[in-house]
Amino acid sequence: MKHLPSALVLALIVSSGTVASSEDDGPKLVVYNAQHEQLLEEIAPKFEEETGIEVELRHGSDSEMAAQLIQEGDASPADVFLTENTPAMSAVEQEGLFAPLDTAATDPIPAEYRPASGRWTGFVARSTVLVYNPDLVSEDELPESIMDLTEPQWAGKVSFSPTGADFQAIVAAVLDLEGEDATREWLAGLQANGTVYDGNNVVLESVNSGEIATGIEYHYYWYRDQAESGDNSDDSELHFFGDKDPGAFISISGAGVLKNAEHPDEAQQFVAYLTSEKGQQALADSYALEYPLNPAVSLDPPVKPFSELEPPTVAISDLDNDKVVEMLSDAGFVL
Ligand SMILES: [Fe+2]
């Protein structure tokens, strides 16, 4: 300090004084949230109430926030990172930015929904579905596999939102399960047959209104609309592929604590809350209708039970979004 100019010394004293007084009110946990904004705005206050720890949510998309964390590196103000899908978690893990999670955070979640490294965990799951308009496609015409949507009879009858992290995670699962050649072929077929919309709610609305026959997305868009009003879902139905098809892929939302977190203990507590029975019940009771991963908690009907989804086995930490983005752009999708 003695070599610093006096004005700077004064500035440091002033700023550390500010920090000291805010610390009197307790630490403020900084959460980079790429899960749905509405969900965390609902869950974080419950954690605050439970623990007295204040939470500051900063929102963004999976890829934006992962890139920001990687760019900020050790200087990031983030304590916790939450995503919609796993590829962004893997990207941050590969940069060595996560601390090992406490077992209190990981133990409640079955091993297949978190990486063996123990550096992050899944906390909710979402099932891939094909939403369809029964006036345009009858039940017996529905495809057995998501891979079949490239066949000629589906020309002009399939839609999706390739700019979003959700669809990209589905493609990452197809890549993991079917390999690169088959995935490139599938994407070329979807490019030929498909209609692109900007956002999964637009996919749902377009299928429901009869503008397009089917759409690939996650289950909750339809169930949420049903729970709210049914205005954008009453004229459509969900087709679950099941049978370990790539189209039955379950995407996991991830939670991790940053290695350089300023508030490591509180950050661990936050993730432990998310995976605890109490936190998982709060998630299950929220508007979100995403599947809890703690086996002690489940969603109420009419959501299709998690145990009936028959997903394929995907190594969740292997999902590679960079490769997917490259393949989507090679297939002619504008991202
Ligand atoms: Fe989503």
Q: How far is CA 92 from the centre of its chain?
A: 14
Tokens 């409640």 correspond to 108
Ligand 1 centroid – CA 305 distance (Å): 19
Minimal CA–CA distance to 65: which of 333, 258, 262? 258
Ligand 1 centroid – CA 289 distance (Å): 11
Ligand 1 centroid – CA 23 distance (Å): 36
Q: What is the pLDDT of residues 48-107, one digit of tens each?
A: 999 999 999 999 999 999 999 999 999 999 999 999 999 999 999 999 999 999 999 999
Q: In the numeric block, which tokens belong to residue 92? A: 């941050």
Q: pTM, whole model, 2 decimals?
A: 0.89
Ligand 1 centroid – CA 165 distance (Å): 8
| Relative orientation angle of helices 37-51 and 277-285, to the nearest 10 degrees | 140
The answer to whether the CB of 98 falls within 8 A of the CB of 76 is no
The answer to whether the CB of 265 falls within 8 A of the CB of 26 is no
Q: In the numeric block, which tokens belong to residue 201? A: 């709610």
Strands 28-33 and 80-82: parallel
pLDDT given for residue 177 in this prediction: 96
The answer to whether the CB of 114 falls within 8 A of the CB of 253 is no
**What residues sit around ligand 1, an ion, with C-beta below 5 angstroms?**
166
Q: What is the pLDDT of residues 212-239, one digit of tens each?
A: 999 999 999 999 999 999 999 999 999 9
Q: What stretches of 52-149 show up as alpha helix (H) in DSSP?
A: 62-72, 86-94, 103-106
Distances (CA, A) of 191 to 161, 194, 331: 12, 5, 7
Q: In the numeric block, which tokens belong to residue 220? A: 């909750």
CA distance 83 to 255: 7
CA distance 217 to 75: 36
pLDDT given for residue 23 in this prediction: 45
Residue 238 makes CB contacts below 8 A (sequence gap 6+) with 129, 130, 131, 132, 219, 222, 304
Ligand 1 centroid – CA 163 distance (Å): 12
pLDDT given for residue 315 in this prediction: 87
Q: What stretches of the chain show up as alpha helix (H) in DSSP?
A: 6-24, 37-51, 62-72, 86-94, 103-106, 165-178, 180-193, 200-208, 220-228, 264-275, 277-285, 321-330
The answer to whether the CB of 177 falls within 8 A of the CB of 243 is no
Ligand 1 centroid – CA 83 distance (Å): 10
Minimal CA–CA distance to 66: which of 99, 32, 23, 106? 32
Mean pLDDT, consecutive 10-residue segments, the chain of 335 residues? 38 35 69 96 97 97 96 97 95 96 98 96 98 97 98 98 93 96 98 96 98 98 97 98 98 97 98 98 97 97 97 89 93 89
Ligand 1 centroid – CA 73 distance (Å): 27
